[in-house]
Structure 1
């Protein structure tokens, strides 16, 4: 009988010791859980709280009153963390929705720029829109990727259109520059031809035979000859100046055309 009593007492003492150890372990988990409930790192706290839940399941029982009290505290801590996480998620969802709307507006504006006729102003605005995009916070990953692809595609279309327009304008400038060279070359040829004719006319005026002094119109004829010579010299001087001006303009025009 004493042996049975002793065995029962030993079993009860062991159970109480186990309960005390389990109570101590659960108190430790409760303390950690309550600390996690107010953590600022909700993701890490949530992962750690899940681990604590797994540990709780592995710990044996303790006295019912202690078990219920400790479980109530532990579960309350889990609930607080979950509610905070839900609030944070709802807040983030609202921010994501606002950011998505902001980015949709930026996509729409960027898309409209590709049809602009003033590419310089459009590219400046595109750079400003890119800065605004960077300033807007994130949205859901699927929306983020879709909107960024739309935004970038619209921006690429704009800059490609601006590049084509720039190349076309450059080609037109080169064409106008070489057309100016051609006009100046033609003007120079015409001036040289006119100068040749003026020099020939001057040579003929110089070689004209002087009238006989017995001719009653001698003075008139001499004056006419001198006037023709003077006019020819003036025309030659004018044409030489024009030729010089044209040569300078032609050299400048060729230099500019070659630089384009």
Structure 2
């Protein structure tokens, strides 16, 4: 009798496999040595091992549905139980049991994922319905609102389905919102014709006033009147497209006629002012040569004469007025600052105060130095420390006071 750990061949050629439940005959072998019989039935076992390996890999590495996986496991479990093979069949059965547990766990995960997906889908559809209802109640941009409602319907169709009852209730609300929006839009456009007719009538009055002003030569007052008419035009609302285009063309033509005439007059006036601009350019260049100021009194006298000539020249074009006036103001400011500095240097009272401050600080420092020598000689550490701090402060003040005094020299 020939044996191996998992089976044996009896003297009569019967081949047995060992399992936890005992031995079981799996076949007979009459044509050859017993070792050949065991090798043959072990190969059959290897085939089963391969099938279990492949199923294990397929279940763990793919998204095979739990139902299909269980069916495949049951079929292979039956094959192992009835297998005509020699090997550790109990181990294969145990592996299949582990796979069943894995599939059961996956089934729970899939169920949980499905519930999560349904919950998320419900949230998505509730959000879609809520937005649709907001649009139905308050939207006034009809084109944008209608387009957004169409997008919401597409989002609804793309979302996962929820349970039938919830799906039907939410769809009913979405349909009602679309209907309410359509009714509001229809009512709006029904009333729009009346409003457009009122706008057309008001704008005809505005155009008539604009055309009456087109040839005015009261440039300032008429320009203000046109601005007021433009404000009224914007406040009057829109007429129909055809009426709006025709009326706007008339309004703009009247306005353009006035402003073109005004521009022509102003251009002629500006041409007369260009000569003044050139003259002031030369005067400004002369004023800038005063800088930097070295003699404040001479600079002020020169600038006074420049101011008289500047005023005598007269106005310049508006586009250069700020630049020229600003340039002369900068020169004037520089001269003023030079005069203030000169006055400060020559102020006898301020100089006397600066000299008195320096003298007082020097006396104080001399006294503190004497006090410091006494404190050191007496070994009074606290007095030494306090006196040194006072000396440091007085010397710092003296430096500042001496700099101030130097400014008067």
- Among 33, 37, 55, the alignment partner of 2:59 is 37
Aligned to 2:132: 110
Deviation per residue, 1:16-73 (Å, 9 max, x gap) = 5774354233212210122123224233x75355235335535632568722111111
Aligned to 1:119: 140
Please say if 1:256 is aligned against 2:278: no
Return 5+ residue gaps in structure 1 as ranges: 1-5, 185-251
Equivalent residues of 1:106, 1:129 under 8 A apart:
no
CA distance in 2 between partners of 1:253 and 1:171 (Å): 8
Aligned to 1:236: none
- Among 5, 12, 33, the alignment partner of 1:8 is 12
Question: CA RMSD of the aligned region, Å?
Answer: 4.7
> How has the CA–CA distance of structure 1 residues 253 and 130 changed in structure 2, closer, same or farther, with 3 Å as cutoff?
closer
Equivalent residues of 2:126, 2:170 under 8 A apart:
no
* Structure with the larger helix share: 1
CA distance in 2 between partners of 1:64 and 1:21 (Å): 8
Aligned to 1:160: 182
What's the TM-score once normalised by structure 1's chain length?
A: 0.50
CA distance in 2 between partners of 1:141 and 1:7 (Å): 67
The count of corresponding residues between Structure 1 and Structure 2 is 183
Please say if 1:26 is aligned against 2:30: no
Deviation per residue, 1:105-156 (Å, 9 max, x gap) = 431342243232x422895498289469839952536368536634641452
Question: Highest CA radius of gyration, 1 or 2?
Answer: 2
> How has the CA–CA distance of structure 1 residues 105 and 122 changed in structure 2, closer, same or farther, with 3 Å as cutoff?
farther
Deviation per residue, 1:206-234 (Å, 9 max, x gap) = xxxxxxxxxxxxxxxxxxxxxxxxxxxxx
**Segment of structure 1 superposing worse, 125-134 or 23-32:** 125-134
Deviation per residue, 1:138-177 (Å, 9 max, x gap) = 2536368536634641452244124303421333245547
- Among 91, 95, 102, the alignment partner of 1:69 is 91
Aligned to 1:51: 72
Equivalent residues of 2:118, 2:161 under 8 A apart:
yes
**Segment of structure 1 superposing worse, 59-68 or 154-163:** 59-68
Equivalent residues of 1:106, 1:151 under 8 A apart:
no
Report the secondary structure of 1:8's partner residue.
Answer: coil
- Among 133, 138, 141, the alignment partner of 2:160 is 138
CA distance in 2 between partners of 1:164 and 1:102 (Å): 29
CA distance in 1 between partners of 2:126 and 2:154 (Å): 10
> How has the CA–CA distance of structure 1 residues 64 and 86 changed in structure 2, closer, same or farther, with 3 Å as cutoff?
farther
Equivalent residues of 1:29, 1:74 under 8 A apart:
no
Report the secondary structure of 1:61's partner residue.
Answer: coil
What's the TM-score once normalised by structure 2's chain length?
A: 0.35
Report the secondary structure of 1:38's partner residue.
Answer: helix
CA distance in 1 between partners of 2:241 and 2:99 (Å): 85
Aligned to 1:96: 118
Return 5+ residue gaps in structure 2 as ranges: 1-9, 15-26, 31-36, 206-238, 247-409
Deviation per residue, 1:156-208 (Å, 9 max, x gap) = 22441243034213332455478x49x99xxxxxxxxxxxxxxxxxxxxxxxx
Equivalent residues of 1:20, 1:62 under 8 A apart:
no
